[in-house]
Structure 1
Amino acid sequence: MRLILMTLLALALATAVGLGATWLTSTRGVDLATLKIGAWAARPRVGSSDIDPYARATIARSGELPVGTGDGISFIARTDDDNRPLDGRCDVVVSGVTPAARFWTLTLYDTKGHLIANSLGRYGFTSQEIVRGSDGSFEVRIASRARTGNWLPTGGLDRYQLVLRLFDTPVGVATRTQRDAPMPAIATQGCP
């Protein structure tokens, strides 16, 4: 009788650990084959047939449609370059240049992947509409109150994430360093 109880307890524990690990990897993901450049992270194989099972589970759970490997790549930033979480109550500046791409978008999302509601209906910028400096660099200010230039409103949200999608770009699986793909810097400047 004791053997049966111990076996059932072991099976229950194994089931709980297995389901817990599955839930964690499908909701938070894992860092398998992740490309990190500064605060930006991408998983270049997500849009290919070489996708790992954890990324496949994450996509199945979220329902998102990944950018195909031949079409481009998506980078996500949840922190600034000093590893501080992106805070909607602070002023955050995204500046510099992007890797070579025919077209790109920079979009602001909440932590669940939803667009942040705002009265302007401004959720991001594209490479065609952003105001640039004479050297081709740009500066986007992300803040709760209006700013001059390229501004994205946060609505005072506590945490958010930035997604930079590069379309028709050489950046991908073989990219390893900032020199291969010059990513924009992310700096927190003003915080209450």
Structure 2
Amino acid sequence: MRLIFISLIALIVATAVGLGATWMTSTRGISFGAITIGAWTAWPRTGTADIDPYARAAIARSGELPIGSGDGVAFIARTDDNGRQLDGRCDITVSGITPAARFWTLTLYDARGNLVSNSLQRYGFTSQEIVRTADGSFDIRIAPRSRSGNWLPTGGLDRYLLVVRLYDTPVGVATRSQRDAPMPAITTVACP
């Protein structure tokens, strides 16, 4: 009787740990094959048949439609280059250049993955509308109050994330470093 009881407890614990780990990976966006360059992270296998089961579960749960590997790749940033969470009450600068791509977008989302509502209805920039410097680089200011130049309003929310989508780009599974894919720098300029 004692052996059956111990076996039953072990089975319950193993089931709880397995279900808990699966829930955590499908809700927190944990998957394998990530590329991290600075504050930016991408999962280039997400849009392929080689997707890992945890990423597949996360996509099924969220209902997202990932970019296919032949179309491009999406990089996500939740922190600045120093590891500080992106805070909508702070002034943050995204500056530099992007990897080679026919077209790119930079979009601002809240922590739940929804577009950040604002009175201007400005949610991001594209490579065709951004104002650039003479050398081709750009500076985007992300802040709660109006700024000159390329400005994205945060509405003062606590946390947000940035997504850069590169379309028709050579960046992919073989990319490993800033040299292969020069991602823009994210810097917290001022914070109350």
Deviation at 1:3, TM superposition (A): 2.2
Count of aligned positions: 192
Deviation at 1:171, TM superposition (A): 0.6
Counterpart of 1:184 in structure 2 is 184
CA contact (8 A) 2:89 2:156 kept: yes
The 3-state SS of whatever aligns with 2:175 is: coil
Q: Give TM-score scaled by structure 1 length.
A: 0.98
RMSD of aligned alpha carbons:
0.9
Counterpart of 1:139 in structure 2 is 139
Within 1, Cα distance between the matches of 2:158 and 2:98?
Answer: 26
Q: What does 1:58-69 correspond to in 2, within 5 Å?
A: 58-69=58-69
Within 2, Cα distance between the matches of 1:21 and 1:45?
Answer: 21
Counterpart of 2:156 in structure 1 is 156
Q: Which runs of 5 or more residues in structure 2 are unaligned?
A: none
Deviation at 1:84, TM superposition (A): 0.6
Moved over 6 A (4+): none
Q: Give TM-score scaled by structure 2 length.
A: 0.98
Kindly, what percent of the aligned residue pairs are identical?
74
Counterpart of 1:13 in structure 2 is 13
Within 1, Cα distance between the matches of 2:31 and 2:8?
Answer: 34
- The superposition leaves residues 88-110 of structure 1 with CA deviations (integer Å, 9 ceiling, x where unpaired) of 11000000000110100000001
Within 2, Cα distance between the matches of 1:155 and 1:7?
Answer: 54
Q: Which runs of 5 or more residues in structure 1 are unaligned?
A: none
Counterpart of 2:33 in structure 1 is 33
Deviation at 1:4, TM superposition (A): 2.3
Within 1, Cα distance between the matches of 2:114 and 2:18?
Answer: 29
Letter in 1 for 2:85: P
Deviation at 1:31, TM superposition (A): 4.8
Q: What does 1:21-170 correspond to in 2, within 5 Å?
A: 21-170=21-170
